[in-house]
């Protein structure tokens, strides 16, 4: 009788061990899409999200720069001026760091718009790039008429961009970096002077890639 009980216990122990080694399939959580920022409209069938309007500017290399250059590409946008004494140096350094963090993403582009076209001429932008050893293979410094750029900032990217005598350096502009998807929709805004915010931007860029590629 004792031997029989021991045999039954052995069988139960083996069964339990076997159940522990059974393979389990873990389903990864679904990717939650990034929000669409800006005013939405509904045409009766679809939601129409805010889209960056068409624009034509000059790049630091004197080439024409339009929406076509970023069509189908994820891009990060900011506004600055070369003589900025406060937030711009820190913001540009953070964009430089972000560019390095995303060097494996072929399609990513960075756009920096000057809000001071009177002083930030094309040669001045080129000198600024050289002084800071900035990599322009996918980073463009953009120049345009003052009022045109201000309107693009406020009505396109939903950012402050204007002259202001009370502001440091004489210009008021946002310190935010704007994440724009392949279709020209704004998908996120991040404080461009804060390391933690820029780290989150890098994560959201990769999240946006997964959302759009589905991988």
Query: How do residues 147-189 score in pLDDT, each as one tens digit?
Result: 999 999 999 999 876 554 444 545 556 789 999 999 999 999 9
210: its two tokens: 């997964």
d(CA 132, CA 119): 18
Domain extent for 90:
41-213
User: Domain for residue 56, yes or no?
Assistant: yes
| Distinct helix (H) and strand (E) counts, the chain | 5, 11
User: Domain for residue 6, yes or no?
Assistant: no
d(CA 177, CA 51): 16
User: Domain for residue 171, yes or no?
Assistant: yes
From the list 38, 8, 54, 19, the residue with the least C-alpha distance to 152 is: 54
User: Domain for residue 77, yes or no?
Assistant: yes
User: Domain for residue 98, yes or no?
Assistant: yes
d(CA 205, CA 75): 9
pLDDT of amino acid 138: 98
The residues of the chain scoring below 70 in pLDDT are: 1-24, 26-31, 42-44, 161-173, 212-215
CATH number of the domain at 162, please.
Answer: 3.40.30.10
171 φ/ψ angles, rounded to the nearest 5 degrees: -135, 145
pLDDT of amino acid 211: 82
Number of domains in the chain: 1
pLDDT of amino acid 19: 46
pLDDT of amino acid 212: 62
User: Domain for residue 118, yes or no?
Assistant: yes
Whole-prediction pTM value?
0.81
User: Domain for residue 29, yes or no?
Assistant: no
pLDDT of amino acid 10: 47
């Amino acid at each position: 009788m004792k031997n029989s009980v021991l045999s039954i216990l052995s069988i139960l122990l083996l069964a339990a061990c076997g159940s522990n080694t059974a393979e389990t399939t873990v389903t990864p959580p679904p990717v939650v899409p990034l929000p669409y920022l800006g005013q939405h409209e509904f045409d009766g069938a679809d939601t129409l999200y805010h889209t960056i309007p068409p624009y034509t500017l000059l790049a630091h290399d004197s080439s024409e720069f339009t929406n076509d250059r970023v069509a189908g590409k994820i891009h990060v946008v900011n506004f600055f001026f070369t003589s900025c004494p406060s937030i711009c140096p820190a913001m540009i350094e953070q964009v430089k760091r972000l560019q390095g963090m995303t060097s494996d993403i072929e399609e990513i582009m960075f756009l920096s718009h000057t809000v001071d076209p009177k002083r930030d001429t094309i040669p001045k932008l080129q000198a600024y790039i050289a002084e800071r050893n900035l990599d322009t293979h996918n980073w463009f410094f953009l120049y345009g008429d003052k009022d045109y750029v201000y309107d693009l900032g406020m009505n396109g990217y939903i950012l402050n961009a204007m002259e202001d005598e009370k502001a440091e350096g004489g210009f008021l502009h946002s310190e935010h970096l704007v994440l724009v998807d392949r279709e020209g929709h704004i998908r996120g805004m991040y404080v461009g002077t804060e390391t933690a915010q820029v780290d989150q931007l890098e994560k959201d860029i990769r999240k946006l890639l997964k959302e759009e590629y589905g991988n």
